[in-house]
Amino acid sequence: MSLAKALKVALIQFTVTADKTVNLLKVKEKVTEAVSHGAKLVVLPECFNSPYAVSAFPKYAESIPEGETTQFLSKLARDTNIFLIGGSIPESRGGKYYNTNVTFGPTGDVIGKHSKVHLFDIDVPGKIRFVESEILTGGDSGTAVNLPGYGAAGVGICYDIRFPELALAATKSHNAFAMVYPGAFNTTTGPLHWNLLARARAVDNQVYVLLCSPARDVAHPENYQAFGHSLVVDPWGKIIAEAGEGDEIVYADLDPEKINSVRSSIPVLTQRRYDVYPDVSSTAKINE
């Protein structure tokens, strides 16, 4: 059984501003609220302390773990006694910039770190152009974090969800019960692919999938517009909780029996034909 016991999760969807201090205060407020409702695992959105803009990344970038935001999240996890998947922030490391997640245990210790592997370089004519690689460097491995008492969870960031190899590697090599993706899909790709990709990764690997987005910044239409709709998908591919576009906390209970039921009913995990095609998990680089 990949999930040892039931786990209540909360996804914090909020409007990110250009003021880092305001963003961190909002995180503290919303995480405290989620904990008061019984959440044991809390997830933050992609780029929650910074505007999601290539031009903003160098200005807001911090070192990890010494930086202000990492220290803030460490204390918050410790004070609230939760597992905290800290969305992502722009990281400065070795003269380069990364889009990086840090995950914390209830003692405030860093238990996982993931730098976005697949950079968001797209150009949809007449709709949106965004090229992260103009500033950012991609990470060089997937990530699975151990949540003592519950099991392992795979972590990716936004565009990583489009590449099923990371999810397969994390779930097969670490028997993960969930894939967690802080993400900031936009209003062009979000309506078409956000739910679709979440459900696909859930069905592919028979795990829960958690997607946590910033809220849509309707007050500033000139800014990048996140899709919102943070959600939780169960191992059957069913959306069991979903936000709208605005500020909201999404709650869900992850049930280990749901994973067991799906895997015994449709045993794709044991039916894969690695004599026909390669086993990606056997060669993938996965941080622990």
Active site members: 46, 116, 158
Identify residue 208 by its one-letter amino acid code: Y
Between β-strands 41-43 and 7-13, what pairing exists: parallel, antiparallel or unpaired?
Answer: parallel
- Per 3-state DSSP, what percentage of the chain is helix, strand, and coil (rounded to 5)? 30, 30, 40
Looking up tokens 């039916």 gives: 271
d(CA 43, CA 41): 7
C-alpha torsion sign, points 115, 118, 121, 127: negative
| Contact criterion met (CB below 8 Å) for 205 and 2 | no
Helices (H) and strands (E) in the chain, counts: 7, 16
* Cα gap 96→133, rounded to integer Å: 11
Q: How many CA atoms lie within 13 A of 28 on its CB side?
A: 16
CA torsion through residues 264, 252, 288, 57, sign: positive
Q: Put the strands of the sheet holding 231-233 in their side by side order.
A: 239-242, 231-233, 208-212, 178-182, 151-155, 142-147, 286-287
What's the one-letter identity of residue 266? Answer: I
Compute the distance between CA of residue 211 and CA of residue 145 in angstroms, rounded to an integer: 16
